[in-house]
Amino acid sequence: MSVTKTLALVMACVVVLTMQGTTLAQNTQQDYLDTHNVARSVVGVADIEWNNTLQAYAEDYANKRRGDCSLTHSGGPYGENLYWAPTTSFTAIDAVKLWVDEKQYYDYQSNTCSKGQLLDCGHYTQVVWRDTTQVGCARAECNNGGLFIICSYYPRGNVIGQWPY
């Protein structure tokens, strides 16, 4: 192999390894917390904190979803937001931002989602739910090459008849 080809191969490996490091670095507890707390500060609610019990619950459930990456809720005792992506290059920040972007479908005056968007603002309202104080999240790489992310919340939000903030 020529020196040029060897150098090109080494540079390609460095780029791939650098990209992997960036992806892993964007999936920390702090990434989940910061993205949640920015959205919460916009509507004037207190920051949430990381909870290791919630993280363990989320990890257990994420691992159960490895086989199919199905957006099926756990039915557990916590509030819950789920995220699926077709590849593992998506990050914790991508997941939380997707939920927060549902704000556009939420009408605070009526405390409802826009018509036709019933299921598309509940993730947002859980992120900013004023009584929620703790979160724990996890991600799993699925057997089909996809990505599953779950955040579990305590206390759970989206209580019927109550406003999130």
Cβ pair 92, 28 in contact under 8 A: yes
> pTM for this structure?
0.83
Question: pLDDT tens for residues 59-101?
Answer: 999 999 999 999 999 999 999 999 999 999 999 999 999 999 9
- β-bridge pairing 49-50 and 134-141: parallel
Higher pLDDT, 16 or 90: 90
| CB-CB neighbours of 142 under 10 Å | 20
Question: pLDDT tens for residues 17-70?
Answer: 333 333 456 799 999 999 999 999 999 999 999 999 999 999 999 999 999 999
Per-residue pLDDT, averaged over 108-129, amounts to 87
Cβ pair 81, 154 in contact under 8 A: no
Cβ pair 60, 160 in contact under 8 A: no
